[in-house]
Structure 1
Amino acid sequence: MKDCTRNCVDRCHRTAGGVCDLLWVVGLFLAAELVIWAISLSLRLVSVPFFASIIGMLAVFALTTGCHFFNKRVESFYNTWLKHKINFINTHMAVGFPIPLVMLDQSEMLDATHIGYVIANFLITNVVSWTGTFVVGFFALHGYAILHDKWEARSQTPPSKRPWIAPPPVINLSFIGDDSISNDLHIPSPRTPSLLVTGYTPATSVFDLAAPLSELTATTSKSPSLRKERRTTAHKILEQYPSLLAMFFLLVIGVPVAAATGEVRILDGCAVWFSWITTVRMQRLFKKSSVCAKRPRLKNTIATVMNSVLLTTLLLTAYIRSRAVASPLYDLSQVQQLFSRGNPLYAVWTASVLHEPIISNTRAYFGAGDAALAFLEVGIVVWGFKLFECRKQLWSVAGVFTVTVSIGIAAANVFLSVGSAHLIGLDGSEALSFAARSVTLALAKPAVEAVGGNLAVNAAVVVSNGILGQLIYPFVLDRMVARTDSTEEEDDRSLNGPDDPLTIATGIAIGINGAAMGVAYLYGTRSRAAPYAAVAMTVFGVMTVVFTTVEPFKGVVLSLSGT
């Protein structure tokens, strides 16, 4: 009896904790959106409100770093109260990535010839950009590290003891010291191969993964094997409660409300929730299962193909098409408009408060797809906290080098990608869509609009870049970049240790070419390359907008496209 009472109390505590965590996440979401809105209102004066999420990320990083400078207990407060919620938002921000592909319709499709040209330029620019970015970053950093070690050897080491070959180089010349950070933690070798997939596996959370009931229920009786088997089956079913709950709301609330009132946002929201959380759990459960355990390479491949973004894109595309077929009142384009208008939440708020209607959305409609995109914007803002965790890596020569390389690669990407598209056979708007071929969605749209590019082609290229990267990362990252062994309950102080040129160059390459999807993947896998990727993505995106909107760069881009 006492054990049953204790179990009930434990379950109540877990439930109450889950509700509190949910309220924290909702509060962080609203706070981040309010920050984005406030910044966007300020940026309206210079007509660049689309920078709001990026500036919000930098503001959060600056604020937390400044507070920590004056009071070291800020880090303890962050680790205790905020970190798990930030990790949850960062993990699930990828729910917004499928939306641009889901919104493509027949009227925006190109003919077979132009699709072939787009695919050809997509492959060429990816090969050149990934290879070039990594090679430039790695060899420049490696050369600097060798020269630095030689200089130190000459100044501190007797001539007879100078090595002919420099030791394995690390970049750790911090501009700002931080005595509160310990660098003596052991980090696994960045080149340790791993046969099993260690891909994008979202962190365990009360919102998407039930705690095993075996931890909640004491074995008070001598239960036979049959009862144990039944309990295990029940546990497996109950652990799928996020998907079951989404389906329940979809059928019990979403469908009746849509049928009675024509209001489909609840139905669409449940469909997004069900598609995303189900694909996330499918991939996770497959990785943990014993299926193909004796063939790790095959399991690695299958788990990688079960990419959450890719599968969610397919499920939502099928859902939207099915709704269009089943509805006699709406065609496909109208169903898509009810799903998403493509306007950020801050623009909808501004239009409602200032009574300045959006030209393409006079009713300030905000659909389920727009909510998913808003979660993506919030995810970018909370990256400021992740940068705070890795601040020592950024306030270093490696951080400055990341910024410098990103600016140079941004210029090369804008001009060469457009020129390459024109040479292959694409003209005008299709060629200009490659000007922002790997920029995060928040900045790609204004960059392409400024030069008159095809937004549909650009959205397809950007999201395809991210999906392609997530399919490749599990096969190469464990052989190149180290991950921390710290658990979520620890401070992750090892993230502030020195990194070698291979880790830094990999982070730069992923941040520039994989954009937000690549950065989210690195943070999801707790990679040491993540902060460099976030900085590279930010600088690369901002400079891409500059090169496509500011003269004389804009004129050069237009001339390269043949317009």
Structure 2
Amino acid sequence: MKDYRKLCVDRCNRAVRGICNLLWIVGLFLASELLIWAISLGLRLVSIPFFASIIGMLAVFFLTTGFHLFNKRVESFYNASLKQKINFINTHMAVGFPIPLVMLDQSEMLDATQIGYIIANFLVTNVVSWTVTFAIGFLALHGYAILHDKWEARSQTPASERPLMAPPPVINLSFVGDGSTSNELHNPSSGTPSPFRNENTPATSVLDLAAPLSESTATTSKAPSSRRERRTTVHKIFEQYPSLLAMSFLLAIGVPVAAARGEVRVLDGCAVWFSWITTVRMQRLFKTSSACAKRPRLKNTIATTLNPVLLTTLLLTGYIHLRAVASPLYDLSQVQKLFSRGNSLYAVWTASVLQEPIASNKGAYFGAGDAALAFLEVGIVVWGFKLFECRKQLWSVAGVFTVTVSIGIAAANVFLSVGSAHLIGLDGPDSLSFAARSVTLALAKPAIETVGGNLAVNAAVVVSNGILGQLVYPFVLDRMGVRTDSAEKEDDRGLNEPDDPLTIATGIAIGINGAAMGVAYLYGTRSHAAPYAALSMTVFGVMTVVFTTVEPFKGVVLSRSGI
């Protein structure tokens, strides 16, 4: 009887913690959106409100870092109260990635020849960009590390004691910031708290964060194996309650409201919720199951194929087409407009408050797809906290190098990708869609609109590029040996060790070519390359907008497309 009461109390406590965590998530979402809105109102004066989410991310980073300089307890508060919620948002921000592909209109589709040209240029630009970006980053950083170590060795050793044949130098990029040396960053006896580690709870992974919010990682990790083995089938089914709850809401609320009042946003929202959470948990369950345990390569291949972004795109595309068939009053394009108008939440708020209607959305309509895109914007803002965690890596020679390379690659990508598309045979608008071929969607749209490119082609290229990257990363990064700290490890002090040129170059390449989807993947797998990817993605995206909207660069881009 006592055990039963203890179990009931434990479940009640977990439910309360889950509700509190959910309220934290909602609060962070609203705070981030309000920050984006406030910044966008200021940027309206210079006609660049689309930079709001990127500037919001930088504002969070600098403010958090500034507060930490004055009060070191900021880091303890972040680790104890915010980190898990930030990780949850980072994990599920990818729900917005499928929306542009779902919204592709059949009237905007190209013929087979044009599609072939687009695929050809897509492959050419990706192969060249990935190879060149990684090669420049790795070779330059590797050479700098060798020269730096040689200089340090020579400056600290008297000439009379220098050996004729010195041993190979240890590649070590020194970090600056917080007054810490590189040895203090990974020396457990130094007493320096890790910005990556929550001292009160074990580290959590992207897979754990797909679990219900009320489920404590610390509790599950400490549960005896015998207790886990005694879980009944009912318990295992109950663990999938997010999917069951989404389906229940869809059938019990979404369908009746849509049938009675013609309001489909609840129905669409439940469909997005069900599609995303089901695919996320499907991949998680397969990775943690005993299926194909004796064939790890096959298991890794299947788990990678079960990519939530890819599967959610397919499910939502099928749902939209099914709704168009089932509704005699609306065709496919009208159903898509009810699903999403492609307007940011801050733009809808601005239109409603200032009474300035959006040209393509007179009634300031906000659909379920727009809500998913809003979660993506919030995810970009909260990356400011992730940059705060990795501030030692960013305030370094590697950080300065990342910024420099990103600017150069942005210029090369804008001019050469458009020129390549024109040479292959694409016309002006389709060629210009490659000017922002790997820029996060928040910046790609205004960049392509300014030069008159094809928005549908650009959205397809950007999202396809991200999905392709997420399918390839698990295989390539493991073979390359890029440093990643497993979430199952209780000791994650290794996250504070100096990063090698391979890791830094990989982060730069993924940030530039994989955009937000690549950065989200690296953060989800706790990769050391993540901060460099976030920094390079930001600089690359901003400079791409500059090169496509500011003269004389804009004129050069248009001339490269044949216009």
- Shorter chain as normaliser: what TM range? over 0.9
List aligned pairs for 1:463-478, cutoff 5 A: 463-478=463-478
1:204 counterpart SS class: helix
Contact residue 18 and residue 206 of structure 1 kept, 8 A: no
CA RMSD of aligned residues (A): 2.4
Among 165, 169, 172, which residue is 1:170 paired with?
A: 172
Q: Does 1:182 align with 2:185?
A: yes
Q: For residues 487 and 474 of structure 1, what CA distance do their matches in structure 2 show?
A: 17
Per-residue CA deviation, residues 288-315 of structure 1 (Å, 9 max, x unaligned), is: 1121112111111111111110000000
What code does the residue aligned with 2:441 have? L
List aligned pairs for 1:24-423, cutoff 5 A: 24-159=24-159, 160-161=162-163, 163-164=165-166, 166-174=168-176, 176-178=178-180, 182-184=185-187, 201-204=206-209, 207=212, 231-423=231-423
Give, in angstroms, the shift of residue 522 of structure 1.
0.3
What code does the residue aligned with 1:408 have? G
Compared CA separation, residues 298 and 145, structure 1 to 2 (3 A): same
Compared CA separation, residues 244 and 470, structure 1 to 2 (3 A): same
Q: For residues 535 and 208 of structure 2, what CA distance do their matches in structure 1 show?
A: 23
**If the length of structure 2 is used for normalisation, what is the TM-score?**
0.92
1:293 counterpart SS class: coil
What code does the residue aligned with 2:186 have? N
Equivalent residue number for residue 194 of structure 1: none
Contact residue 391 and residue 496 of structure 1 kept, 8 A: no
Give, in angstroms, the shift of residue 365 of structure 1.
0.3
1:386 counterpart SS class: helix
Q: For residues 115 and 445 of structure 1, what CA distance do their matches in structure 2 show?
A: 20
Equivalent residue number for residue 514 of structure 1: 514
Give, in angstroms, the shift of residue 149 of structure 1.
1.0
Contact residue 341 and residue 367 of structure 1 kept, 8 A: yes
Q: For residues 34 and 241 of structure 1, what CA distance do their matches in structure 2 show?
A: 31
Equivalent residue number for residue 483 of structure 2: 482
Give, in angstroms, the shift of residue 477 of structure 1.
1.3
2:172 counterpart SS class: coil
Equivalent residue number for residue 202 of structure 2: none
Contact residue 84 and residue 488 of structure 1 kept, 8 A: no
Q: For residues 202 and 545 of structure 1, what CA distance do their matches in structure 2 show?
A: 34
Contact residue 149 and residue 166 of structure 1 kept, 8 A: no
Per-residue CA deviation, residues 254-302 of structure 1 (Å, 9 max, x unaligned), is: 0000000000000000000000000011111111112111211111111
Compared CA separation, residues 522 and 209, structure 1 to 2 (3 A): farther
Q: For residues 220 and 530 of structure 2, what CA distance do their matches in structure 1 show?
A: 33
Contact residue 185 and residue 494 of structure 1 kept, 8 A: no
What code does the residue aligned with 1:72 have? K
Equivalent residue number for residue 192 of structure 2: none
Per-residue CA deviation, residues 226-255 of structure 1 (Å, 9 max, x unaligned), is: xx87x5211211111110010000000000
Pick which of 202-211 and 353-362 moved more. 202-211
Equivalent residue number for residue 23 of structure 2: 23
Contact residue 210 and residue 241 of structure 1 kept, 8 A: no
Q: For residues 242 and 407 of structure 2, what CA distance do their matches in structure 1 show?
A: 42
Contact residue 172 and residue 499 of structure 1 kept, 8 A: no
Give, in angstroms, the shift of residue 161 of structure 1.
3.2
Q: For residues 513 and 263 of structure 2, what CA distance do their matches in structure 1 show?
A: 39
Give, in angstroms, the shift of residue 211 of structure 1.
6.7
Contact residue 386 and residue 531 of structure 2 kept, 8 A: yes
Q: For residues 214 and 70 of structure 2, what CA distance do their matches in structure 1 show?
A: 38
Contact residue 470 and residue 518 of structure 2 kept, 8 A: yes
Stretches of structure 2 that go unaligned for 5 or more consecutive residues are 190-204
Q: For residues 452 and 170 of structure 2, what CA distance do their matches in structure 1 show?
A: 48
Equivalent residue number for residue 200 of structure 2: none
Contact residue 344 and residue 370 of structure 2 kept, 8 A: yes
Structure 1 moving runs of 4+ over 6 Å? 486-490
What code does the residue aligned with 2:483 have? A
Identity, % of aligned positions: 78
Q: For residues 314 and 141 of structure 2, what CA distance do their matches in structure 1 show?
A: 40
What code does the residue aligned with 2:485 have? T
Contact residue 279 and residue 312 of structure 1 kept, 8 A: yes
Stretches of structure 1 that go unaligned for 5 or more consecutive residues are 187-199
* Paired residue total: 542
Compared CA separation, residues 31 and 107, structure 1 to 2 (3 A): same
Q: For residues 24 and 390 of structure 2, what CA distance do their matches in structure 1 show?
A: 23
Contact residue 88 and residue 203 of structure 1 kept, 8 A: no
Contact residue 351 and residue 358 of structure 2 kept, 8 A: yes
**If the length of structure 1 is used for normalisation, what is the TM-score?**
0.92
Give, in angstroms, the shift of residue 215 of structure 1.
6.3
Q: For residues 173 and 113 of structure 2, what CA distance do their matches in structure 1 show?
A: 48
Contact residue 19 and residue 214 of structure 2 kept, 8 A: no
Equivalent residue number for residue 500 of structure 1: 500
Compared CA separation, residues 327 and 209, structure 1 to 2 (3 A): farther
